[in-house]
């Protein structure tokens, strides 16, 4: 048995920019990128077509949005700007450390997070009160290529934890995304039904010993 846990909204609370387009524009300008006058429009326009359930890295979208206005920007510069735009304060949720420790007592434990910003999940973990060494795997949708509730996201974290999907318990706060574990063949614990502090008892009740 293995446990995967959602990050944003489950283990940590983070601040997100009220206007993502403006935040990205500011970070681009700080790195010497010429931001188009109609940037807000370009940012909101679809730029790349992806299959259902697939994750598009936000930096790729931003590069294409710039290119649509005749601006050529270096991939690493854009990636750093996007990461800077979304790298806000991190608050570790009450009960998160205890919940992760309880999961780790029962088998391998990992993070499975929807996030289109490369490197942000790992940076958020490092900035939280959680011990990154507690996790046997960290899987972000931007890295595995698929977003929850797509079954391939759950298959990715199960593979990283070296268990079958049927032996995975996924913990999260969003029924629409984290609840997809059930359709993928795993089991789920939703924080709409269970408090994070109650996770140890919930795992035991599920037979995870």
Max CA pair span of the chain: 58
The domain boundary, picked from 86, 105, 123, lies at 86
* Residues 135 and 181 occupy one common structural domain: yes
- Would the pLDDT of 209 be above 90? no
CA proximity to 122, closest of 97, 150, 87: 87
Same domain for 46 and 10:
no
Number of domains in the chain: 2
Closest by Cα among 88, 83, 78 to 31: 78
Q: What is the band of 138 on the pLDDT scale with cuts at 50, 70, 90?
A: very high
- Give the domain CATH number at 187: 3.40.50.1000
Q: Give, for 2, the enclosing helix (H) or strand (E).
A: strand 2-5
Band (178; pLDDT cuts 50, 70, 90):
very high
Query: Do residues 7 and 121 touch, judged by C-beta distance below 8 A?
Result: yes
Report the C-alpha gap between 158 and 170 in whole angstroms.
10
Domain range for 101: 2-14+91-205
Q: What is the mean pLDDT of residues 86-105?
A: 94
Q: Cα 13 to the chain's mean position, in Å?
A: 12
DSSP string for residues in 177-195? TTTHHHHHT-EEEETTTS-
Q: What is the pLDDT of residue 192?
A: 87
152 and 176 co-located in one domain: yes
pLDDT of residue 205: 82
Describe the crossing of helices 58-67 and 75-86 by its angle, rounded to 10 degrees: 120
Same domain, 74 and 99: no
């Amino acid at each position: 048995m293995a446990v995967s846990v959602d990050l944003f909204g489950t283990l940590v609370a983070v601040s997100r920019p009220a206007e993502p387009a403006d935040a990205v524009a500011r970070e681009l300008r700080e790195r010497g990128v010429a931001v188009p006058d109609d940037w807000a429009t370009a940012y909101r326009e679809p730029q790349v077509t992806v299959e259902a359930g697939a994750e598009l890295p936000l930096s790729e979208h931003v590069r294409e949005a710039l290119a649509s206005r005749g601006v050529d920007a270096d991939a690493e510069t854009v990636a750093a700007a996007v990461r800077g735009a979304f790298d806000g304060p991190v608050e570790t949720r009450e009960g998160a450390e205890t919940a992760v420790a309880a999961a780790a007592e029962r088998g391998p434990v990992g993070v499975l997070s929807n996030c289109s910003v490369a490197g942000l999940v790992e940076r958020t973990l490092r900035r939280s009160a959680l011990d990154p060494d507690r996790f046997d795997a960290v899987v972000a949708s931007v890295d595995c290529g698929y977003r929850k509730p797509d079954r391939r996201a759950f298959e990715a974290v199960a593979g990283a934890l070296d268990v079958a999907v049927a032996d995975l318990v996924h913990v999260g706060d969003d029924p629409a995304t984290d609840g997809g574990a059930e359709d993928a063949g795993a089991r789920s614990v939703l924080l709409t039904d269970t408090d994070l502090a109650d996770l140890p008892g919930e795992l035991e009740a599920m037979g995870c010993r």
